[in-house]
Chain A
Amino acid sequence: MSIPVGHYQYDRIDRDFLQARIAEFEGQVNRRLDGTLSEDEFKPLRLMNGLYLQLHAYMLRVAIPYGILDSRQLRKLGEIARRYDRDYGHFTTRQNIQFNWIRLEDTPAILRELAEVDMHAIQTSGNCIRNVTADEYAGAAADELVDPRVHAEILRQWSTLHPEFTFLPRKFKIAISGSPNDRVAARFHDIGILARPGEAGAPVFRIFVGGGLGRTPVIGEELFDSVREEHLLATLEAILRVYNAHGRRDNIYKARIKILVQAIGVEAYREAVEAELAQMDLERYRLTPEAVAAIRARFAVPLLEAPADADAVLAQQRRDDPLFDRWVRSNTHVHRDPGHIIATISLKPGGGIPGDATSAQIARLADLADAYSFGEIRITHLQNVVLGHVRKDRLRDLWLGLAEVGLAEANIGLIGDIVACPGLDYCALANARSIPIAQKLGARFADTALQAEIGALRINISGCINACGHHHAGHIGLLGVDKRGEEFFQLTVGGRAENGAAIGTILGAALPEDETVDAIARLVDCYLGRRESGETFLDTLTRLGHEPFREAAYETV
């Protein structure tokens, strides 16, 4: 078959490796069943292969490296949902997909099916280097300086079963982007990498370290401004080596690299990394131009051809159909090619479960990707789906096709585009349910005209302090807490993950679940009532400060 657009094409060596990993995991399952491995020993081993034990069943998190997959892979995910789960999957904030009703005994068979389409669950959990995330518009956006996917793939390979860094103090997340507009929350990662063009065609990398959300939200600090491509892997090895040796292992809440960076300071961390680099055999770790070129050659480049009037056709269709126009306004992004456009498909229907897709929807998305975007699909860290290369004159046909399966919601970046973790409905760590509150908010603001009127406003919901819903980074954030067995929500405002990353400020005491939606509606009303022309929610918040919003939230009717 032809090389897929958008992600690395496996060869026999990569496929043999996957089969070996499945055989290894199957052996681990058998040793667990016969009692050779205790649960305490098995748990970290199954997590490294994406398998959790949640409230009702096992959950399998399948890796979607840098968030990109092809239609054949997506179809396979739909089949797995149908055959081994309950006919749906959940796309996560790390661009992966997870299935909630998995049986341990089925897992090796599922992994074999995934391997048929070059997919796996390697390092989607565990205290190791997790699946690498990248810009969801990579290789398509007009504002991009460097396509980060080749280096994201290099990082995926380098981090796969790394002999030294598979038993780290805690999980380790890396994101990479090549755009000046940060769409990967680079400064909320253990390592965030921003690529830009360097001399002689090779990129250079700005590296942030020690960012993260969770119990202690921290904005990452710049470790190096310009790491050359040939030293990228050496530099990452050195950063990880310092962390593996010195990260805390006595307290899991203080084990992330951010705590170590905070404890010793970024200057001391940089010195420690430089001391490692001074001792390392750099030639051994050198990322050669040949290796980069070999991996780049495994990515197909889409042939972007559009009729000269594509743009005019789209403009006319927008004038003719206000509903379509509204969707185009919220759900598309400028492509580097003037005849093409990037379409974001919302998985946030009003009142629905953020990030969930049925197997029928998944199959339809695969068909639409084949028809409109070179068979390529991207999953966003905001739990939506992107078709990266849609011809402008065919966008309306795509939109009509999406509407047939309930996927034409016009709310990307708006208040209905809620990010939520699975919460206490599924998750063994959660303190409160995230989905029901997301559904209530989604229903409250379901009117797309109202959403457009409110404008850019991001709500993030986490069901516990681990912050998988990234509540610290939401313009409005909700954190579920447990008070004597009852669900409460703590509100934060002013967080953002984009350029100018900020951690939200807690407004006040947590509210009972049944008062939370009204309180958020009052926050929104406060903004609508006091905004000046052209202001977003964040703009008004910045101008007025938190006090009016605090008063609105806690106003008792």
Chain B
Amino acid sequence: MRLFELGERSAQVHDVLVTLAELAERDDARAVLLESADDPALLKPYLNRLDLVVLRFPVFRDGRGFTQARELREYLRFSGEIRAEGHILPDQAAFLRRCGVDSVVLPKDGNGDPALWEKQLRQFPVAYQRSVLPERSVGPGLRVEEAS
């Protein structure tokens, strides 16, 4: 498993990764795997002990993970690591990051080339909408860039 960090937070490896259903019985679990149909709000009682939430993308076209990440950051104020795994493309790197994802498990095929992910993170100088990241305006109107 090769990890790629989308932002400043270092990706941590966890020995125990449980499903949402297993979370209640495993007091030692610090990492949970959400399927794309899972409701992140169900993590509420466990957020204090969770270090990592892994969002699994069954296919890159299934965009529910973006909303899950955003709900975790924006509604649940989750401050631990969010990771995406499964069928994801480097073309989604900036979207993932802007929705609050910190790291990805690099795909095993040609889409796992870290250079592609690196490049995609820097593809666009501005965005036209607010994300969960700290941002500042660029010029008049809606445009923002990341505040470093």
Contact = CB atoms under 8 A, between A and B. Distances in A.
A and B interact physically? yes
Interface of A: 11, 13-14, 16-17, 20-21, 23-24, 27-28, 31, 35-37, 41, 44-45, 127, 154, 157-158, 160-168, 233, 241, 244-245, 249, 279-281, 284-285, 290-291, 294-295, 297
B64 A295 contact: no
22 contacts: A14-B143, A16-B126, A17-B124, A17-B128, A20-B124, A21-B124, A28-B91, A36-B109, A37-B110, A44-B60, A45-B89, A127-B61, A157-B143, A162-B129, A163-B131, A167-B60, A167-B66, A167-B92, A168-B63, A244-B64, A280-B75, A284-B130
Contacts of A168: 63
B134 to A, nearest CB: 11
A19 to B, nearest CB: 10
Contacts of B75: 279-280
Chain B CB within 10 Å — which of A23, A160, A164, A168 has the most?
A: A164
A35 B110 contact: yes
B110 A13 contact: no
A295 B141 contact: yes
Contacts of B98: 163
B63 A167 contact: yes
A13 B139 contact: yes
B133 to A, nearest CB: 10
Nearest to A19: B125
B128 A31 contact: no
A13 B138 contact: yes
A243 B109 CA distance: 31
B125 A20 contact: yes
A164 B66 contact: yes
B63 A280 contact: no
B22 interface: no
A348 B67 CA distance: 44
B95 to A, nearest CB: 4
B140 interface: yes
Interface string B17-44: 0000000000000000000000000000
Contacts of A37: 89, 110-111
Contacts of A291: 140-142
- Looking at A165, A166, A244, which has the most chain B CB atoms within 10 Å of its CB? A244
Nearest to A284: B130
A294 B140 CA distance: 6
Interface string B72-98: 001100000000000001011011101
Contacts of B127: 161, 163
Interface residues of B, number: 41
Interface string B97-137: 01100000000011101001001100111111111000000
B70 interface: yes
Given A167-B62, A244-B64, A284-B130, A157 B124 contact: no
B60 A244 contact: no
B132 to A, nearest CB: 9
**What 6 A-B pairs are tightest by C-beta distance, nearest first?**
A167-B63, A294-B140, A36-B110, A163-B98, A163-B95, A157-B128
Contact of A165 (B63, B74, B94, B119): B63
Contacts of A127: 61
B123 A245 contact: no
B142 A23 contact: no
A20 B123 contact: yes
A163 B94 CA distance: 7
A23 B123 contact: yes
Given A165-B63, A167-B62, 14 more contacts: A28-B91, A36-B113, A37-B89, A37-B111, A44-B60, A45-B91, A157-B141, A158-B128, A163-B95, A245-B64, A279-B74, A291-B142, A295-B141, A295-B142
Contacts of A164: 63, 66-67, 70, 95, 99
A127 B140 CA distance: 29
A158 B129 contact: yes
A127 to B, nearest CB: 7
Contact of B62 (A165, A233, A249): A249
Nearest to A167: B63
A36 B74 contact: no
Contact of A158 (B63, B94, B138, B142): B142
Nearest to A11: B139
Contacts of B89: 37, 41, 45
A481 to B, nearest CB: 29
Nearest to B141: A294
A280 to B, nearest CB: 7
A158 B128 CA distance: 5
Nearest to B133: A163
Nearest to B128: A157
Contacts of A281: 74
A17 B61 contact: no
Contact of B111 (A20, A36, A290): A36
Nearest to A246: B64
A162 B116 CA distance: 20
Contacts of B60: 41, 44, 167
Nearest to A127: B61
Nearest to A48: B91
B31 to A, nearest CB: 22
Contacts of A28: 91
Contacts of A241: 67, 70
Contacts of A16: 125-126
Contacts of B63: 164-168, 244
A280 B67 CA distance: 13
A31 B49 CA distance: 41
Contacts of B142: 154, 157-158, 291, 295
